[in-house]
Amino acid sequence: MDEEETQLEEGPLPVLKWDHGLFEQITRGFRFPPEWDAQYPRQGQTATDAPPGYITLFEDFFLQGNFRLPATEFMAHILHHYGFHISQMSPPGMVRVRHFEFLCRSHGIEPTVENFRVFYQLIRNMGFYSFGNWRSAKKILLNPPKSFHDWKHKFFFIREEVIPIAMIFRESDAIEKEELAIPKAADWYLKLTVTPNHIFW
pLDDT in tens, 111-140: 999 999 999 999 998 889 999 998 889 999
| CA–CA gap between residue 115 and residue 123 (Å, rounded) | 17
Q: What are phi and psi of 105, to 5 degrees?
A: -65, -30
Q: Which residues of the chain have pLDDT under 50?
A: 1-12
Beta strands in the chain (DSSP E): 54-58, 120-125, 128-133, 141-142, 155-159, 195-196
| CA–CA gap between residue 78 and residue 116 (Å, rounded) | 9
| Count of CA atoms in the C-beta half-sphere (13 A) of 167 | 25
**Is-contact 102 116, C-beta < 8 A?**
no
Listed by start position, the domains of the chain span 22-44+51-196
pLDDT of 9 reads 41
**Is-contact 37 22, C-beta < 8 A?**
no
Q: Which pTM does this prediction carry?
A: 0.88
**Alpha-carbon distances of 169 from 81, 86, 173, rounded to whole Å:** 13, 9, 12
Nearest to 154 by CA among 73, 40, 68: 40
Residue 20 gets the label, from left (phi > 0), alpha (psi -120 to 50) or beta, of alpha
pLDDT of 2 reads 47
pLDDT of 16 reads 54
Q: Is the peptide bond before 70 cis (omega within 30 degrees of 0)?
A: yes
pLDDT of 17 reads 63
- Largest Cα span, the chain: 54
pLDDT of 201 reads 67
